[in-house]
Amino acid sequence: EDQVTQSPEALRLQEGESSSLNCSYTVSGLRGLFWYRQDPGKGPEFLFTLYSAGEEKEKERLKATLTKKESFLHITAPKPEDSATYLCAVRSGGGADGLTFGKGTHLIIQP
């Protein structure tokens, strides 16, 4: 059974204070690891897909990295508008189709 664990559950940072969110996973044949941003009352917004260990992707202040067991979402010099819940999900090559999600990290950036 595929599993995704995100840590920490919640994180409060000062504006400009860089940090990282963790996503640990176990999956039978990784077809992709996905990062999403979700604002309250809205659907998840796609950020990145990573397919193989060693891969990295960047978008503005965000950088996602992938190893064989975990992924990190690095946030550099965050701004208050980066406040959101960040979701990690995996898609496996076995079993049912669809993504398996972690519970998310609720990030608050204080001005």
Give me the residues that bind another protein (CB under 8 A), please.
Answer: 4, 31-32, 34, 36, 41-46, 48-49, 51, 87, 89, 91, 96-104
Strands 30-38 vs 19-26: parallel, antiparallel or unpaired: unpaired
Nearest distance in Å: CB 98, another protein: 4
DSSP-assigned letter for residue 109: E
Distance CA 58, CA 30 (A): 21
Distance CA 5, CA 89 (A): 9
Nearer to another protein, 94 or 111 (CB): 94
Nearest distance in Å: CB 110, another protein: 23
Nearest distance in Å: CB 2, another protein: 10
